[in-house]
A and B are shown apart, each in its own frame.
Chain A
Amino acid sequence: MGKIVSVAATSHTFGSANGAEQATQRIVEGMAEISRHIVQSRPDVLVIVSSDHLNNFTLDAQIPIAIGIADEYRPLGDMGIPVQTFQGSRDFARGFAQFSAAAGFDLVPVENISPDHGVAFPNAFCNPGGGTALVPLYLNTVMDPPPSCARAYKLGVTLANYIKAERPQNERVAVLGSGGLSHWICLPESGQVNADWDNHIIQTIIDGRGEELATISKAEILAQGGNGGLEIAAWAFAAGASKGQKGRKVYYEPMVSWWTGMGGIIMDGPDTDS
């Protein structure tokens, strides 16, 4: 059986440092700490969970949950992310799609995708040399209906079960939830940040109570965290993959000038040994 050697979650956008230099630096240092944690866990496979931002998926066929099964990925290059080819893991991804089908999840396998910043930004700093196989897992919260936190949490648990039950002996897997926290996209509330809600989400997960996110409704997320706040499904996935273990907050900044709450956490287990 394989094992999960690191689990983390982080926001994945960025904005101008002008007027917010110190907060920006704290975010960079937080991302660097998450990066170090993942790199030092020496993963063979890095599963990055995020929503696409309608760059690879369209509203004509609204796919809520998908998994990249390609042998390699070339980032879209949005947000200035270097366009460097990364290896994928067809074997891991297809195997997880099959395993998930038996567990009640129909993951849509996708082949020809260019990951946007949701996957490519954290991959760029957590998988710098490209030596770790990237598996993008899409919880497309831009679709309607979006994947719920309840489904995301259970899918995270399913990933942990898959790694334990079906992956090769000694395979090392890192899991990174990517997105959030509160932000309102092209709505009258744009520019607001709900720091109380953001910190509540962080605290719930790092206390080992991530399963409680399953009780948060779409309406509640939209009201408290905005339409961009739906991306906390990726954090719920990470909580599920850690199987209720505790964790710690790495950084949080209410970046009003970026129109978003920015946060990052590192979770224990379920199999971490670093």
Chain B
Amino acid sequence: MKPSNRPPVELHRLISSALKDKTLVERIRSDPRPVYESFGVPHDEQTLLLEDPRNAMSRIGVHPNLQLKLLGILGLLELSMVSVEPYIAQIRKSHGQDS
């Protein structure tokens, strides 16, 4: 059993790796257990994550920004995301910048 103050470093590495690996993202979405296993995520954490990822990450102590990213990968984000591209275009146009 890991010490209670040890952060979930394996899961942190997994999430950070997924940000640069679309294949890994697809594997997490389709069948996360083998991915958790390959990154050495402890079995007690795996069980919690497979049951309820949102609550699990809070209980396990996942870094909040990485929680946000895994929730996004799993399609569980409550906050609606938008593209800022049209607003950037609006700002540029507002003072004659169309480039």
A interface, CB within 8 angstroms of B: 14-18, 28-29, 31-32, 35-36, 39, 53-55, 58-60, 79-82, 117, 121, 124-125, 128-129, 142, 185-187, 227, 258-259
A59 touches which of B9, B71, B84, B99 (Cβ 8 Å): B9
Residue of B nearest to A143 (CB): B63
- Cβ of B7: which chain A residues have Cβ within 8 Å of it? 59
- Cβ of A129: which chain B residues have Cβ within 8 Å of it? 97, 99
Q: In the bound complex, what is the Cα–Cα distance between A227 and B69 (angstroms)?
A: 16
Q: In the bound complex, what is the Cα–Cα distance between A129 and B88 (angstroms)?
A: 12
Q: Is the interface of A mostly helix, strand, loop or mixed?
A: loop
Asked if B99 contacts A128 (CB within 8 A), the reply is yes
A15 touches which of B16, B82, B97 (Cβ 8 Å): B82
Residue of B nearest to A51 (CB): B65
Asked if A32 contacts B94 (CB within 8 A), the reply is yes
- Cβ of A117: which chain B residues have Cβ within 8 Å of it? 84
- Cβ of B85: which chain A residues have Cβ within 8 Å of it? 80-82
Asked if B91 contacts A31 (CB within 8 A), the reply is yes
Asked if B65 contacts A81 (CB within 8 A), the reply is no
Asked if A36 contacts B68 (CB within 8 A), the reply is no
Asked if A54 contacts B87 (CB within 8 A), the reply is no
**Best-buried of B16, B69, B87 by chain A (most CB within 10 Å):** B87
Sampled A-B contacts (13; CB under 8 Å): A14-B82, A14-B84, A17-B82, A54-B19, A79-B83, A81-B85, A82-B88, A121-B88, A124-B84, A129-B97, A186-B58, A187-B64, A258-B79
Q: In the bound complex, what is the Cα–Cα distance between A55 and B57 (angstroms)?
A: 19
Interface residue ranges of B56-99 to A (CB < 8 Å):
57-58, 63-69, 71, 79-85, 87-88, 90-92, 94-95, 97, 99
Chain B interface residue count: which class? 20 to 34
Asked if A185 contacts B91 (CB within 8 A), the reply is no
Asked if B68 contacts A185 (CB within 8 A), the reply is yes
Residue of A nearest to B92 (CB): A128
CB of B33 within 8 Å of the partner chain? no
A53 touches which of B65, B71, B87 (Cβ 8 Å): B65
Asked if B69 contacts A54 (CB within 8 A), the reply is yes
A-B CB proximity, top 9 nearest: A80-B83, A186-B64, A186-B67, A185-B64, A32-B94, A125-B91, A128-B97, A32-B91, A80-B85
- Given A59-B9, A142-B63, 14 more contacts at CB 8 Å? A14-B82, A28-B90, A29-B94, A32-B90, A35-B91, A39-B97, A53-B65, A54-B16, A79-B82, A79-B84, A80-B82, A81-B84, A128-B97, A259-B79
Q: In the bound complex, what is the Cα–Cα distance between A95 and B99 (angstroms)?
A: 31
